[in-house]
Structures are given as C-alpha cells and as structure tokens.
Structure 1
C-alpha cells in the first residue's frame, strides 16, 4: 500500500493505493480521518473501452493538386481557419481588391481579396475546408 496526500479545491485528502499490476484507485478520505480503521479499502477502476480501428473515420481522398504554372500569382491563406464561402469561380475575371474567398478564423469572417487584376485559373479549396497559414487558396493568371 502506498499513501498519498492529495489537495483538491483546497481540501486535503489522504488516500491509500494498493499496487497490484492493474489500474486501481482509492476513495478519498478527509485528512481529519487518518486512523487505519477510518480509511476505506481501494476500489478498482475499470479500464476505458478500447477504440477499434474500424470506428475511426478515414479522411476523404482528395485529388493531388497540379503544379503551379510558371510565375502564376496565387492567393494564400493569411491565417489558419475554415473556408466559409467562395465568391468567385474559375474563369472569372477579378480586379485588385475583389473578394474571392471568405475565411472564418476565431469566429470572425475574413474577406480574402485578389492582390491584383487577373483571371481565376483554379480554386484549390472548397467550402468547409480547413486551411493553414500559407496554403494556396486561388491561382490567378
């Protein structure tokens, strides 16, 4: 038996734990009750059920992105977040400052704008996608 003194929310407890090779725990006893007869026996704790590999959902397969055309301007994610709206389509002409993607980060909607005039060649994200800082969102020409 091992004895431990544990403080929870300012209340001190003395606990005894019996080491038998499996997971066990002792019931808390107020520090005032320190005699051997006042300490209850340890009660075993059942282990958590194991997660089976079949229960884990595999991520959806995505097609690999084609390499960028030489010198193609891109619009990258300025921060991590989730794509909440697409405001442009491939083939659409955009002017500098036009909103192309709406990125939700920290419960705020952030308009991602075109840095220059051009035509959208490819949208590399879809609504609901999570992105990291620097991920390519849009390819222009």
Structure 2
C-alpha cells in the first residue's frame, strides 16, 4: 500500500470529517455522555482496528478525562473485568458491534442489554461516535500516520 496522506491530497473530505466528528461529539454531549465514556468508545474501536495513531491520541485524551492505567490496561477485555459501569459496558458493546459490523455471526455476546441501560439518544450518540472513530481509524491507517515514541 502506498504512503499517501489522503487528507493532504484532498483536504475537503478531511475538513468534512472534522465537521462530522464535531457533530458526533455534540450528539454525545446532548445525550449526556461523559467525556470519559466517549474516549473509551474511541479507544476500543481503535484497538480492534489496530490504529496506533488513534490509540495513542485517545488513550492520552482518556487520561486527561480521568481514566486510570488499570482501566486502560483491561479495556480490550472489558467484559471480563468489574472496572466498567453498566453505561460504559453498553457503550463498549456498541463500539464493538459497529466496528465489527460484518462479523455478526462471530461477534461474542457480551451479555449487556444495551436498550435497558442507555436511552435511545445515548445509543444513537454512541453509534455515531463509533462510526466516526472507525472512519478516523481508516484515514490514519490508510495514510500511514506516523506514531513515534
């Protein structure tokens, strides 16, 4: 694969992505999602997609929002821990469903009844956030964004 930074070659779609991101974040705020929950959704999707650039960025943003090293260490196996609230579990399950949308038959049932934990507005907002971070993951990975220590 080439190392073309697609956002630099065509800036208009990149600018549209920034606006899309802002709208999804605004939906999260409107739905009452905590900044920490928003970052957990971004971290989990980025883990699944293998996006080092977004993982580094959103892990740091999660820490700024109050996240701990312990919770970040286990977010990849959130369903096996007792670290996450029911709301966070529901959001992480949505993030996984959206990120692995083509794997319905293989996606593990995590045992979270999303509709009994989150409101419709919260479900919609988390879904938009997952769609956005999946898009950013694809932009960063396709463009080979550098990730240096």
* TM-score, structure 1 as length reference: 0.26
Higher share of residues assigned helix: 2
Greater Cα radius of gyration, structure 1 or 2: 1
Question: Greater share of strand residues, 1 or 2?
Answer: 1
Normalising by structure 2, we get a TM-score of: 0.25
